[in-house]
């Protein structure tokens, strides 16, 4: 069963930007209610898309450099990376179908 990968500023380039498959990154924080609300959806997607999409989570309180680089001003923010580039960005606690439609476009 695939769980979301915890990434940091240190391993972001290796794990996300150099990935052979599209990557969904959930930028979140422990104190953020909407982040906690969307967390189970992100975990379901990690299982459902295992092998097709890499799913990762980045705690913005513990990692400042990467969220700043991508202009994260509100959380949760989900970014789909494909070939090291931003393919899609979603801000807020949205429904699974919105995230899934964005993922399907990246596949």
The answer to whether 32 is a known catalytic residue is: yes
The answer to whether 107 is a known catalytic residue is: no
- Which of the residues 16, 23, 24, 32 is marked catalytic? 32
- In DSSP terms, 75 is beta-bridged to none
Angstrom distances, CA of residue 10 to CA of 3, 23, 81: 20, 17, 17
Taking the C-alpha atoms of residue 42 and residue 99, their distance in angstroms, rounded to an integer, is: 9
Q: Are 32 and 72 in contact (CB under 8 A)?
A: no
- Which of the residues 16, 25, 35, 75 is marked catalytic? 35
Q: Which residues are catalytic?
A: 32, 35
């Amino acid at each position: 069963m695939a769980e979301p990968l915890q990434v940091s500023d240190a391993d972001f380039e290796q794990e996300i930007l150099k990935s052979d498959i599209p990557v969904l990154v959930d930028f979140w924080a422990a104190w953020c209610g909407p982040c906690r609300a969307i967390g189970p959806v992100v975990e379901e997607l990690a299982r459902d898309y295992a092998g097709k999409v890499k799913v990762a989570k980045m705690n913005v309180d513990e990692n400042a450099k990467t969220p700043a680089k991508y202009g994260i001003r509100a959380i949760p923010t989900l970014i789909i990376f494909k070939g090291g580039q931003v393919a899609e960005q979603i801000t807020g606690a949205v429904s699974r179908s919105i995230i899934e439609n964005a993922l399907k476009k990246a596949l």
